[in-house]
Structure 1
Amino acid sequence: MASGNKSIFRTKSIEAMLSESGKGLKKVLGAFELTMLGIGAIIGTGIFVLTGVAAADYAGPALVLSFVFSGIACSFAALCYAELAAMIPVAGSAYTFGYVGLGEIWAWIIGWDLILEYMVAVAAVAVGWSGYIVTLLKAGGITVPAALCNPPGQNGGIVNLPSIIILGIIMLFLIKGVSESTKLNNILVLIKLAVVILFIVVGVGHVNPANWHPFFPYGVNGVFTGASIIFFAYVGFDAVATAAEEVKNPQRDLPIGIIASLLVCTVLYIIVSAILTGMVPYQQYHNNAAPVAYALQQVGINWGSALVSVGAVCGISSVLLVMTFGSTRILFSLSRDGLLPTVFSEVHPKFGTPVKSTVLVGVITMALSGFLQIGRLAEMTNIGTLAAFCVVSASVIVLRKKRPDVKRPFSCPGVPITPAIAIVFCLYLIYKLPHFTQGVFVVWVSIGFVIYFIYGKSHSIMNFEEQK
Structure 2
Amino acid sequence: MKDQKLISVPVATAVGLGAIIGAGIFVLSGTTIALAGANALIAFALVGVLAIIIAMEFGELGSIMPHAKGASFSFIFEAFGSEMGFITGILLYFSFSTAIAAIALGFGSYLGSLTGLHSGYYSIIFAIILIFVLSILNIIGIKKAASADFYLVMIKLGILTIFVISAVVLAYSTKTLNVSNFTVPPSKDNVYAIFSASIAVFFAYSGFQSISTLTSDVNGGANKAAKAIVFSVVISMIFYILVVVALILMVPASKYTVSADPLAFALSYVHAPYYLYFIVTIGALIATTSATLAMIMTSSRVLYQIGENKLLPKFFRKFNSKKDVSVNGVIISSVIGIVMLFSGNVYIIAAISNFGLLLSYLVSSFAVIHFRRIKKSGTFKTPLYPYTVIVAIILLVLFIYGMPKEALDIGVIIILILFMLYYFFIEFKRDRVIREELFK
Question: Normalized against structure 1, the TM-score is what?
Answer: 0.84
Letter in 1 for 2:403: L
SS in 1 for 2:27: helix
Letter in 2 for 1:260: F
1:43, 1:319 → 2: CA distance?
A: 7
1:193 to 121, 132, 157: 157
Letter in 1 for 2:295: M
Kindly indicate whether the alpha-carbon contact (under 8 Å) linking 2:60 and 2:379 is maintained by their aligned counterparts in 1.
Answer: yes
- Residues 214 and 167 of structure 1: is their aligned pair in 2 closer, same or farther, counting only changes over 3 Å? closer
2:41 to 48, 51, 64: 64
Deviation at 1:305, TM superposition (A): 1.8
Kindly indicate whether the alpha-carbon contact (under 8 Å) linking 2:19 and 2:294 is maintained by their aligned counterparts in 1.
Answer: yes
**Percent sequence identity over matched residues?**
27
**Which residue of structure 1 aligns with residue 279 of structure 2?**
307
Kindly indicate whether the alpha-carbon contact (under 8 Å) linking 1:29 and 1:246 is maintained by their aligned counterparts in 2.
Answer: yes
- Residues 451 and 314 of structure 1: is their aligned pair in 2 closer, same or farther, counting only changes over 3 Å? same
SS in 2 for 1:294: helix
2:408 to 413, 435, 438: 438
Deviation at 1:237, TM superposition (A): 0.9
Kindly indicate whether the alpha-carbon contact (under 8 Å) linking 1:332 and 1:345 is maintained by their aligned counterparts in 2.
Answer: yes
**Which residue of structure 2 aligns with residue 266 of structure 1?**
237
Cα deviation 1:233-266 (Å, max 9, x = unaligned)? 1111112112223333322221111100000000
**Which residue of structure 2 aligns with residue 165 of structure 1?**
129
Cα deviation 1:339-386 (Å, max 9, x = unaligned)? 0012222222543322122222223323333x5546624312222211
Deviation at 1:288, TM superposition (A): 4.0
Q: Map 1:61-140 to 2 at 5 A.
A: 61-89=38-66, 90-138=68-116
Letter in 2 for 1:420: I
Kindly indicate whether the alpha-carbon contact (under 8 Å) linking 1:94 and 1:392 is maintained by their aligned counterparts in 2.
Answer: yes
1:422 to 392, 408, 411: 392
Q: Map 1:331-342 to 2 at 5 A.
A: 331-342=303-314
Kindly indicate whether the alpha-carbon contact (under 8 Å) linking 1:339 and 1:459 is maintained by their aligned counterparts in 2.
Answer: no
- Residues 409 and 398 of structure 1: is their aligned pair in 2 closer, same or farther, counting only changes over 3 Å? same
Letter in 2 for 1:345: R
Kindly indicate whether the alpha-carbon contact (under 8 Å) linking 2:105 and 2:127 is maintained by their aligned counterparts in 1.
Answer: yes
1:252 to 223, 245, 249: 223
Which of 241-250 and 39-48 deviates more? 241-250
Deviation at 1:214, TM superposition (A): 4.0
**Which residue of structure 2 aligns with residue 149 of structure 1?**
122
Letter in 2 for 1:360: I
In structure 2, list runs of 5 or more residues that go unmatched: 172-176, 431-440
1:223 to 165, 184, 194: 194
Letter in 2 for 1:354: S
Cα deviation 1:256-314 (Å, max 9, x = unaligned)? 11100000000111111122112211111124432222222322323222211111111
**Which residue of structure 2 aligns with residue 282 of structure 1?**
253
Kindly indicate whether the alpha-carbon contact (under 8 Å) linking 2:69 and 2:302 is maintained by their aligned counterparts in 1.
Answer: yes
Kindly indicate whether the alpha-carbon contact (under 8 Å) linking 1:36 and 1:261 is maintained by their aligned counterparts in 2.
Answer: yes
1:168, 1:336 → 2: CA distance?
A: 25
Q: Map 1:36-55 to 2 at 5 A.
A: 36-55=14-33
Letter in 1 for 2:290: S
SS in 1 for 2:297: helix
Kindly indicate whether the alpha-carbon contact (under 8 Å) linking 1:397 and 1:415 is maintained by their aligned counterparts in 2.
Answer: no
Letter in 2 for 1:393: S
**Which residue of structure 2 aligns with residue 237 of structure 1?**
208
Kindly indicate whether the alpha-carbon contact (under 8 Å) linking 2:215 and 2:222 is maintained by their aligned counterparts in 1.
Answer: no
Deviation at 1:315, TM superposition (A): 0.5
SS in 2 for 1:235: helix
Cα deviation 1:14-70 (Å, max 9, x = unaligned)? xxxxxxxxxxxx9532211110011001001311232212212x2111211111111
Deviation at 1:219, TM superposition (A): 1.8
**Which residue of structure 2 aligns with residue 448 of structure 1?**
418
Deviation at 1:211, TM superposition (A): 1.3
- Residues 181 and 52 of structure 1: is their aligned pair in 2 closer, same or farther, counting only changes over 3 Å? same
Letter in 2 for 1:130: G
- Residues 248 and 307 of structure 1: is their aligned pair in 2 closer, same or farther, counting only changes over 3 Å? same
2:427, 2:279 → 1: CA distance?
A: 52
Kindly indicate whether the alpha-carbon contact (under 8 Å) linking 1:27 and 1:247 is maintained by their aligned counterparts in 2.
Answer: no
Number of residue pairs matched by the alignment? 417
Kindly indicate whether the alpha-carbon contact (under 8 Å) linking 2:59 and 2:222 is maintained by their aligned counterparts in 1.
Answer: no
Q: Map 1:281-430 to 2 at 5 A.
A: 281-302=252-273, 303-348=275-320, 350-369=322-341, 371-373=342-344, 376-402=348-374, 404=375, 406-430=376-400
2:227, 2:401 → 1: CA distance?
A: 31
In structure 1, list runs of 5 or more residues that go unmatched: 1-25, 151-159, 461-468
Deviation at 1:215, TM superposition (A): 7.6
SS in 2 for 1:353: coil
1:349, 1:224 → 2: CA distance?
A: 43
1:296, 1:120 → 2: CA distance?
A: 29
Q: Cα RMSD between the aligned structures?
A: 2.3
SS in 1 for 2:312: coil
2:378, 2:427 → 1: CA distance?
A: 31
